Structure 1
Amino acid sequence: MNKNIAYALLRISMGVNLLGHGLARIPKLSVFAQGMEKGFEKSWLPQPFVHLFSTTLPFLEFIIGGLLIIGFKTRLANMAGAALIIMLLFGSSTVEDWEAMGIQMIYALFFYILISKIEDNCFALDRKTS
């Protein structure tokens, strides 16, 4: 029972984190996107790609976070969250932002735990492994 509670608390914590990122960024989407584009000016990534990703990112964070909080499609939400972190790691590496990558690796570790312990996902709408 304790492992089920621990899983739910970690899942919800990750969900609140991602949902909060999305909620903070969506109302000021153009400012956020412009700031991200400016941060990637020295990157070799094409600016249209950076623009598309920066305007999509807050919505992805919001959706993934919401799914994790309520425990719906938990496996899919965890995989999407891990994939999002991989994309962020890739982007951070192109601008040599090693500090951000360190933080992103912590997120990757949490998603590893959430994915590898999915059988402990009992307190959720999808109950177990969907």
Structure 2
Amino acid sequence: MNDLSYLMLRLVAGISFFGHGLVRLPKLAAFSQWMTGSFSKSMLPQSLVRPFSYALPIAEFTIGILLILGLFSQKTFIAGVAVMLLLMLGTCLIENWEALPSQIIHAVILIVLYQFIAVNTFSLDHIIFKK
């Protein structure tokens, strides 16, 4: 029972990351332009924002696929939380308070998944690495 609940929670996070990346990848230049515009009045230099804006959709897409598959789960949870922390910092710097709760929820889900990784039995990790 716990393993099925774990799978469902992992899929919730995975679909969200995957979906965010999937819709942004085909319009990567436009997404980058939007993000750099959003941060134009922040204290972050454009030399940091622009590369991050191109890397973010790729990271979201990759983390999403790995979460859905349950592959390299431990490292994927850590990478996902790292992405969320960077997004949260950026959100605070531009005072986009409406986006913060969603980012916190994503981070908390990943932390809970990491905490209970022992029940990650419906996963490629379990099949491949016999964990």
TM-score by length of 2: 0.94
Report the counterpart of residue 12 of structure 2 in structure 1: 13
Q: Does 1:57 align with 2:63?
A: no
Which residue of 2 is the match for residue 38 of structure 1? 37
Residue 3 in 1 paired to residue 30 in 2?
no
Aligned to 1:26: 25
Could you tell me which runs of 5 or more consecutive residues in structure 1 were left unpaired when the two chains were aligned: none
CA RMSD of aligned residues (A): 1.4
Could you give the per-residue CA deviations for residues 40-90 of structure 1, whole angstroms, max 9, x where no partner exists? 011100101100000100000010000000111011111100110000001
Moved more, 120-129 or 108-117: 120-129
* Code of the aligned partner of 2:96: D
Q: Alignment length, in residue pairs?
A: 129
In 2, Cα distance between the equivalents of 1:103 and 1:124? 25
The aligned residue for residue 94 of structure 1 is 93
Amino acid at match of 2:13: M
TM-score, normalising length from structure 1? Answer: 0.95
In structure 2, give the amino acid aligned to 1:69.
I
Q: Which amino acid aligns with 1:123?
A: F
* Kept in 2: contact 1:119–1:129 (CA 8 A): no
Tell me the distance in 2 between the aligned counterparts of 1:47 and 1:102. 25
**Unpaired runs of at least 5, structure 2:** none
Question: Partners of 2:24 and 2:124 in 1: how far apart?
Answer: 27
Question: Which 4+ stretches in 1 moved above 6 angstroms?
Answer: none
In structure 2, the residue corresponding to 1:28 is in which secondary structure?
Answer: helix
Aligned residue identity for 1:7: Y
